[in-house]
Amino acid sequence: MMLRISTAQFEQLWFSQFTDKVSEHLRRYFELPCRIAGDACVRETIRLGLTRARRWGLTREASAQSYIDHMLMLGSDFDSDPQLPWAREILERKQPELARLDSLHAHARDFMERTAGAGSKNLFFAAARARAHGLCPELSVPPSQALERVAAFLDWMYPQKYRLVAHRLPELVARAEATAFTHGFDSPRALGRILGMTFLLGGGVTFDPMTPWVGAIVRDTTHTADEREAKLWSALTAYAGRWLEEARKQGVLERRAPEPGIDGDVQ
């Protein structure tokens, strides 16, 4: 008797093998974020990335893997992030998928070199500033009503990135405020912190599978907005601390190196 495998079974088998292969690839080339996030988050990122890649007509295995690589580099929602309009423009081109991905990779590599820098040192310093100074300036009104103050803070916190995305600040603020309002946050500080979080981690951070705890906290309506904001800030501080400690272990940051722009040392 011949053993018959249904289309669904074949797809499931292929997906399992694809996930194993891409998971190994990501752990090799994105070792730190994968180690911090954990295997379950990596595998969920692969599942989501495959679905989104197919929506863009990226049907080859190598193309899907490349798309997932860019999720790790730029954030899971990079193709609709207001900070990265070039990503969507490239993916929408009427070109073969490999040509689009070559262009996407070139733009992403240039963006990361100019922002995060060698060894992601600029990003680590930005995380240190954010952790030490609350992710946002002190505001008495929503960020959309204090754009100059917000711009000055983001430029100070992560100048290498801000100067590339400054022209998109109104769109970024609108995205962050819409996200905050959707989850019941309305205080200026909460709006500012969600803005700072999306600036650093990407426009889709509240549902990024590499940071699922963010979404879990902001959607937990059994707690008040103030309680969730406090819990989110505590979790973000701990998350930044893990990244900074890993950076020090790897020699990217000196353990007590002076922090540019801040009085005192990196804590």
pLDDT tens figures, 175-204: 999 999 999 999 999 999 999 999 999 999
**Whole-number pLDDT of residue 189:** 95
List beta partners, residue 258. Answer: 265
Q: Which amino acid is at 39?
A: D
Q: Radius of gyration (Cα) for the chain, nearest Å?
A: 20
**Whole-number pLDDT of residue 267:** 38
**Whole-number pLDDT of residue 266:** 40
Burial of 136 (0-12, 13-18, 19+ CB in 10 A): buried
**Whole-number pLDDT of residue 191:** 97
Alpha carbons 128 and 122: distance in angstroms, whole number: 10
Mean per-residue pLDDT, 219-233 = 96
- pTM summary value: 0.89
Mean per-residue pLDDT, 25-41 = 95
Name the residue with tokens 């505001």: 139
Does the structure show a pLDDT above 60 at 89?
A: yes
What residue segments make up the domains of the chain, in order of their start?
A: 31-115, 118-249
Q: What percentage of the chain exceeds 70 in pLDDT? A: 91
Does the structure show a pLDDT above 90 at 263?
A: no
Q: Contact 123/158 with Cβ under 8 angstroms?
A: yes
**How confident is residue 265, by pLDDT bands cut at 50, 70 and 90?**
very low
Q: What is the pLDDT of residues 58-87, one digit of tens each?
A: 999 999 999 999 999 999 999 999 999 999
Non-local CB neighbours of 6 within 8 Å, separated by 6+ positions: none
**Whole-number pLDDT of residue 261:** 45
- Which of 42-46, 235-239, 262-266 has the least mean pLDDT? 262-266
What's the mean pLDDT when you consider all of the chain?
91
